Amino acid sequence: MHNFARSNSAPVKRPARGRRPGLLLAVAVLLLCTLPLHADDRHVQRRVPPVYPELARRMHIGGMVRVSATVAPDGSVTNARATDGNKLLTTAAEDAVRKWKFAPADGATTEVIDVNFEVGN
């Protein structure tokens, strides 16, 4: 059996826990207030389906395009930019999302929207 007792050494100080719960709470609230909302959080009142590009349809290209949209307080989309997806599909997805209408809110939000293009539709 080993003896792990210390001899001639200073006591080990451990960091105090819970000393600043107010600071942690304030940081958490600040993060929640500044994070953008997602399309799930702000109700979509009108969705406009994308027009499937003819070249993509003939080439049997489909898939998902992720669009980041800026939505004004009145619910209109002021900017839409594809962040992921096939380049043949991104313009159609952006054009469709620009026509969407969201529920009004207190301020502008950024919504992340996945637009799916299914081959054969």
35 to each of 22, 55, 92, 94, how far by Cα in Å? 20, 38, 28, 22
**Going from the N-terminus, what domains does the chain have, and what CATH number goes with each?**
36-117 (3.30.2420.10)
Q: Where are the alpha helices (DSSP H) in the chain?
A: 21-34, 54-58, 87-98
Cα 121 off chain centre by: 27
Name the pTM for this structure. 0.66
- pLDDT tens-digit readout, 46-100: 999 999 999 999 999 999 999 999 999 999 999 999 999 999 999 999 999 999 9
CB 99 within 8 A of CB 48: yes
